[in-house]
Structure 1
Amino acid sequence: MKIIFLGTGSSQGIPVIGSKHPVCLSKNPKDKRLRSSVLIEKNQKYFLIDCGPDFRYQMLRSYHDKIDAIFITHEHNDHIGGLDDIKYIFFTMNNSIHFYGLRRVLETIKKRFFYIFTKKNYKSKIFLHELDDCINFFFIENFKIFPLLIWHGNLPILGFRIENFAYITDASNIPIQTIQKLKGLDILILNVLKKGSKYTSHFAILESLNVIQKICPKKTYLTHISHILGFHEEIEIQLPKNVYLAYDGLIIYI
């Protein structure tokens, strides 16, 4: 399994428009972050987790043009804002794309991008799959996918486990039942927004490290990073063994 970090930034990305914060002015490419998303490749199938407003550029710079399924964690703009650009992909592929998410999230997508679901040549290419009643797992081809209930402030959202890899972003709380589903991971991708005290709807670094300690994955990569966390190189050396800051363009294999 190949995992490509298309973006690793929080909702504003880095640099933030108009910001004079030192991280926003950094010349290190690892401090330049588009909105968070990953592309998963296995057996010539391509799965995208979230499709933010930087999606077009992310696909161009990674030289990818295929998607078989899109897993949506939740409906905030930094996670669905690029969905308009998928139309060029399914026309190029001459293939359908399957969307997976909570019913609430898919209804939001249908309203916001209504034209995709009303034009005949668009809607015949898109299939929506609601995960509200998926208690354990579902299959795509021969892939076993576990939707994971997490909390983003007061909003229930999803993470996803695929085999021994899991992706969780925008979490502020992970229920114990979900923690149990995350045991035995080779790779965990988990959000961290900043240092200091816990933010209302995202983990700060101490909360992220506490979750990692409970799950005990072999390796963890932190994502959804804001500029106020600090410089990539300075934060990386402060992290525990087998915990790393992800960066845009990073590729890992399982």
Structure 2
Amino acid sequence: MVITLLGTGTSQGVPVIGCDCEVCRSVDFRDKRLRTSVHIQTDDLSLVIDTGPDFRQQMLRERINTLDAVLFTHEHKDHTAGLDDIRAYNFRQNRDMPVYGQQRVLDSLQRDFAYAFAEFKYPGIPQIQLHTIDEHPFSIQNTTIIPIDVLHYKLPVLGFRIGDFSYITDANYISETEMEKLKGSRVIVFDALQQEPHLSHFTLNEAVEILTRLQPEEAYLTHISHRMGLHSTINKMLPPFIRMGYDGMKIRMNKKIPV
């Protein structure tokens, strides 16, 4: 399995429009963050979790020419707004795109992209095949996916475990029952917005505390705000097995591939 961090930024991305802080002015490419998304490639499956506003740019940058399915964590626009651009894969692969999410999320997609679900469809619109995720594990082709229930303030959000890889974004609470699903993961990508307390996201210290408890071989932080600090500075503060994620980072289960 190869995991590519397509975007590691918060809902505004980094740099933030109109901001003149040192992070937004940084020339370090690792401080340039598109909206959060991840691509997972197994032997026989190409999968994306979330299609934010930067989806097209991310897929072009990584030259991902085949896409088998899309998973959604929740319905916020910074995670769904790029769904229209699956059209390119419809045309290239000559089939509908399987899209997976909780029923509430699928309902939101049908409202936001109503033209794609209209009775009389305009030519060239996205072709989407909806699949509801409940609390049970499910499979896409030969890959089993375990949904993990977390809270984003009061909004239910899904994380996912695929084999020994787990992915949690947009969360500030995980129950003990759901935490059990993360145990034994060799690689975890985990939400850490900033250093100060936040209403709906884990802070850096909270993320480090949870990851230290879970003890994966490797952990990477995502959904990072410009308020977190410079990538190079924060990385030096972290335990050896935890690193800041950055856009374009590729992770094998035991080995990070240089960009």
- The interval holding the TM-score normalised by the smaller chain is over 0.9
- 1:96 deviates by 2.6
Task: Give the corresponding residue for 1:234.
Answer: 233
In structure 2, what is the Cα distance between the partners aligned to 1:123 and 1:7? 25
Provide structure 2 residue ranges, at least 5 long, that are not aligned to the other structure.
254-259
- 1:121 deviates by 6.4
In structure 1, what is the Cα distance between the partners aligned to 2:176 and 2:138? 21
Query: % of aligned pairs identical?
Result: 43
Provide structure 1 residue ranges, at least 5 long, that are not aligned to the other structure.
none
8 Å contact 1:15–1:23 — kept in the other structure?
yes
207-216 or 69-78, which deviates more: 207-216
- 1:120 deviates by 7.5
TM-score by structure 2 length?
Answer: 0.93
Equivalences, count:
251
Instruction: Say if 2:17 is the partner of 1:33.
Output: no
What is the CA deviation profile of residues 20-51 of structure 1, one whole-angstrom value per residue up to 9, with x for unaligned ones? 11100000000000001011111242100000
Task: Give the corresponding residue for 1:215.
Answer: 214
60-69 or 224-233, which deviates more: 60-69
- 1:123 deviates by 8.2
What is the CA deviation profile of residues 63-87 of structure 1, one whole-angstrom value per residue up to 9, with x for unaligned ones? 1122111110000010001011111
8 Å contact 1:67–1:89 — kept in the other structure?
yes
8 Å contact 1:117–1:123 — kept in the other structure?
no
Three-state SS of the structure 2 residue aligned to 1:98 is strand
Task: Give the corresponding residue for 1:86.
Answer: 86
Task: Give the corresponding residue for 1:171.
Answer: 171
Which residue identity lines up with residue 215 of structure 1 in the other structure?
Answer: L
Give the alignment's Cα RMSD to 1 decimal.
1.4
Task: Give the corresponding residue for 1:116.
Answer: 116
Task: Give the corresponding residue for 2:65.
Answer: 65
- 1:90 deviates by 1.2
- Residues 230 and 43 (structure 1 numbering): CA distance in 2 closer, same or farther, change over 3 Å? same
8 Å contact 1:145–1:161 — kept in the other structure?
yes
Alignment of 1:174-185 (within 5 A): 174-185=174-185
- Residues 203 and 16 (structure 1 numbering): CA distance in 2 closer, same or farther, change over 3 Å? same
8 Å contact 1:116–1:122 — kept in the other structure?
no
